[in-house]
Structure 1
Amino acid sequence: MMAGVQLQQLTYFVAVADARHFTRAAELTHVSQPSLSQQIRSLEKELGAELFHRSRSGTSLTDAGQALLPLARRILADAESARRAVAETVQLRRGRVRFGAPPSLCASLVPEVLRAYRARHPGVDLRLTEGGSRDLVRDLEAGELDLALVIAAPSAAPAGLSVTPLLHEDLVLVSAEPLPRRRARITDLRGRAW
């Protein structure tokens, strides 16, 4: 489409071609007849050709108008398809989400979450990647994933990634052998026979 041609002008052009009358086309498109006529004149100027034969009894397409009509219909249909596709993506009706999670979460939390997500958004192609937290963060930074569940401290996330803590889990050590204090560090466990 040429730079100066606007979708609204093509809409008005198709309306006039279908109605074969400027006043009826203006009523159908909910615009004043002078405004519609001005848009058609601008379109004709941009294209360098008259599109309609105008008479008191109505209008008919010129050869240039006949050449433009199927193209205008296709352009308007494509614009509507693009609008719908974007709306469906924004409303999570369609699209693709690349999601990553570590094996421990893939075996426990992820299946239930994915099942619920797919039930709510059946048109979204959800792709799961299983990997270690460091690998998943690397894939996020590289743009290979859209989202990931990782096991890490929120402060460990690289700049540029948004982090939302979902749950906090304490790891505990259970031992038949007494430990030196109530809270043990990994270094406290070195050298012990297990």
Structure 2
Amino acid sequence: MDTELLKTFLEVSRTRHFGRAAEALYLTQSAVSFRIRQLENQLGVNLFTRHRNNIRLTAAGEKLLPYAETLMNTWQAARKEVAHTSRHNEFSIGASASLWECLLNDWLGRLYQASSNLQFEARIAQRQSLVKQLHERQLDLLITTESPKMDEFSSQLLGHFTLALYAAEPAQMKADLNYLRLEWGPDFQQHEVGLLASDDVPSLTTSSAELARQQLSPLNGCTWLPMSWAKERGNLHAVADSATLSRPLYAIWLQNSDKQTQIRDILKTSVLD
């Protein structure tokens, strides 16, 4: 479907006059008539009744009108979005909600300072979904706590961060608290042993560190949080009889990504400052 035909159809339906439509479109009246005939031939129906200067939509024209408006609006939005991406050199970064909240939000701010010519998309999803998006070239860079398991991926270890078990009140013991599971990756589950009885379940499971933090007091709970983030938030207290855990942080991308230069430049800005 030629969008110019739809554009001409909409202008004639608005003005109900081939001459005025031609003026609005900067075309000759014969060009407008030709476009309308082309559209009618494609659809196999008459779209207008023509009686001298009295131009009216046929029943088929009335049916087409809302679809033509929707198609043109969608096309204009697509053109704007594509042009916007081209102008600003958009770069998409994916991570879990907890990583964005605790570690990557400040990093994103530093990226804008270091790369003013880039427009970033910060995408939040589960790791499995983000790996699929990376593989399908819908995502440029993945930040995760697990190393890549596919040969077509490249990776860089960005460093390590430390998790501790936190509660809302000081001097709390693990046995006296309900466990709130904040998702730090499938391989993290081995560290949760001892926080739950064999037949027990977490009082809350979430991928949001902020949500888990806000529920510590209402649920009399404890959860694993990055120590640097917990210190900034305040009013959080390490559980007395728990240890700390070190977690790696990786950047992962496709080996044959066409944004290799941008990736290298972006990763020059340290994540774990």
TM-score, scaled to structure 1: 0.57
CA contact (8 A) 1:93 1:122 kept: yes
**Equivalent residue number for residue 29 of structure 2:** 33
For residue 4 of structure 2, give the secondary structure of its aligned residue in structure 1. Answer: helix
* Aligned counterpart for 1:114 among listed residues 108, 128, 137: 108
Aligned residue for 2:143?
129
User: Cα RMSD over matched residues?
Assistant: 3.9
Take 2:19 and 2:11, find their aligned partners in 1: how far apart are those partners?
10
State whether residues 95 and 124 of structure 1, in contact with CA within 8 Å, keep that contact through their aligned partners in structure 2.
yes
Name 1:48's counterpart in structure 2.
Answer: 44
In structure 2, do the counterparts of structure 1 residues 12 and 116 end up closer, same or farther at CA, with 3 Å as the change threshold?
same
**Which shifted more, 16-25 or 50-59?**
50-59
Shift of 1:12: 0.2
Residues 94 and 125, structure 1, Cα contact 8 Å, conserved in 2: no
Deviations 1:69-98 (A, max 9, x none): 111111111111222222233334877334
2:152 pairs with one of 141, 154, 157: 141
Pick one of 250, 256, 259 that aligns with 1:160.
Answer: 256
User: What does residue range 50-129 of structure 1 map to in structure 2 within 5 Å?
Assistant: 50-92=46-88, 96-98=92-94, 114-118=108-112, 124-125=121-122, 129=143
Gaps of 5+ in 2: 96-102, 125-141, 159-253, 269-273
The residue type paired with residue 108 of structure 2 is L
Q: Please give the per-residue CA displacement for 1:15-35, whole angstroms capped at 9, x wherever unaligned.
A: 000000001001101111111
Whichever residue aligns with residue 122 of structure 2, its letter is D
Query: Percent identity at matched positions?
Result: 28
State the 4+ residue runs in structure 1 displaced beyond 4 angstroms: 110-113, 118-123, 147-151, 161-167
The unaligned stretches of length 5 or more in structure 1 are 100-106, 152-157, 168-194
Amino acid at match of 1:141: E
- CA distance, structure 1, for counterparts of residue 105 and residue 61 of structure 2: 57
Instruction: Give the distance between the partners of 2:150 and 2:85, measured in 1 at CA.
Output: 23
How far residue 43 of structure 1 moved from its aligned partner, in angstroms, is 0.5
Q: CA deviation at 1:140?
A: 9.0
TM-score (ref. length: structure 2): 0.42
CA contact (8 A) 2:18 2:29 kept: yes
**2:48, 2:56 within 8 Å by CA — same for their partners in 1?**
yes
Structure 1 residues 54, 111: closer, same or farther in 2, change over 3 A?
A: closer
